[in-house]
Amino acid sequence: MDLKRPIGPSRELNPKHATFPRRVLTSAEFSQLTAIPLLCAFQPERPLVNWRQWLGLTPTVADLARELLRAAQRSGVTGWSYDAADTSLRNADHGVINLANIHREYAQARYLARPGLLQKYHAMLTPSDQSKVPRLRTLAQTRIFPILRSRNDRVTLEIQHRDAKDPFPPRAAKTFLSHLEVVNGYDRGQTVSQVKASAAPEWGLSLELAIERARANLRALPAPTWQLVGDAVWQLQSDEGYNESFLQLPKVFENLPAKGSALAMIPNRGVLLATGSDEPAGITALLAAARKSIEEAPWPLCGDLFRITPAGPELYVPIGDEAIHLATIQRLDIASVYEAQKTVLQKHCEALGDPVYVATYGIISKTSSPDDSHSWCSWAERVESLLPATDLIAFGWQFEDSRKTLMVRWTDAGQMVGHYFKPTIEDPPRFRVDEFPTPEERDALQRVAV
């Protein structure tokens, strides 16, 4: 289940590594707090905020988890527990809810917006027949919309269900551009349920026709508007939500008040940013805004840049420094996926008794040029590893009484010691290495070290 209107990386970025500014309640907020009606799921005598929030401190993941668990219990829903190790709520019957992005949205929201967010989150813990997508097309057809999602969003769920009795069901999705997919979503008001692939045949429709009818529903929504949010950068605003999904409709960009061809990015769910190809420094400003969003806002979605044509969007790569900056944003995007993958994959391997180490996807850059970055991973002697695909590999081994380390480009390493790389089923890709290069191969690698 997706939250319909996230206010904004990690796809499951660990919030322990995120920082949020302290904010003090204004007098207006203090006066209004007592006037806010509590949600029916929350006891009237309970305050909306705990002592941390009264002091203007950011609520922790544990604070949010406790509040949701209490709300679930008051609603008669049992079985949920908080797993602090991977910041998730778990239920044997209803699955896993990762809290990282939910917490980031909640922590960044204004105090007066938090009750509504809690209501949305609470709905995710409460089983209801209303959450099911109607099997009758006549009941579902007006509430189906084509949402843009990354295929990487399902990485953790796929790994968690590998040993399950029933495989994780595929969703009604079609490849869009890059790692994006068009997914049919059933609008439940505050949330959107992703439609299973089996729904279209039950409705008597092909997947393509079901998606096209969903697009017709998107076109029929009230026209969104463009709001200037920076130097020659505009953000799409829609009262109905689905901001990022409007990327599918070229007509929306006809009203963009920018010079030249429309260029757009959807760094996060709920965020569509755009500029014009003829705007001075427009691409630079767009990239800066997208990077800030993908680093700070919840639910990162895509780090690619698109050019809007009458036939629809297409991938676009600028030149010079702008191309370097775009590549860094794309690395930040995939880094959050690899981080989420690493956490659940390491647990999966440990449960199988596999001693393999799931290597970290890292990003390095020069202090003098933060927009120019490279990705890297480490490959250590005597450590069976699952390596992410990176720009560089750091080799490490013991040499006499000291530790020897060298950095080699992935392409060079692939040519010289690629015979150790064993492809796996993982997506994004990982390569298993059970052996380490020989002394002779290490000498050769040192000659191409960076």
Q: How far is CA 219 from the centre of its chain?
A: 25
Tally of CB atoms within 10 A around 131: 14
Q: What percent of the chain has pLDDT over 90?
A: 55
Check whether 307 has a pLDDT greater than 90.
yes
Q: How many residues does the chain have?
A: 450
Per 3-state DSSP, the chain is made up of helix, strand and coil in percentages (nearest 5) of 35, 25, 40
Tens-digit pLDDT profile for residues 165-217: 777 788 999 999 999 999 999 988 777 888 888 888 888 889 999 999 999 99
Tally of CB atoms within 10 A around 405: 13
Helix 100-108 vs helix 61-74: crossing angle, to nearest 10 = 100
- Sequence-distant contacts of 57-62: CB under 8 A, at least 24 apart: 57/22, 58/20, 58/22, 58/107, 59/103, 59/106, 59/107, 60/103, 61/15, 61/87, 61/99, 61/100, 61/103
Per-residue pLDDT band at 439 (split at 50, 70, 90): very high
Q: Which residues contact 254 (CB under 8 A, 6 or more apart)?
A: none
Check whether 157 has a pLDDT greater than 70.
yes
3-class DSSP state of 60: coil
Tally of CB atoms within 10 A around 343: 20
- More confident: 383 or 134: 383
Structure tokens at 346: 């390491």
**What pTM does this model have?**
0.79
Tens-digit pLDDT profile for residues 260-288: 999 999 999 999 999 999 999 999 999 99
Check whether 64 has a pLDDT greater than 80.
yes
Helix 439-446 vs helix 410-417: crossing angle, to nearest 10 = 150
Q: For tokens 């290490």, what's the residue?
A: 442
Check whether 235 has a pLDDT greater than 60.
yes
- What mean pLDDT is reported for the chain? 84
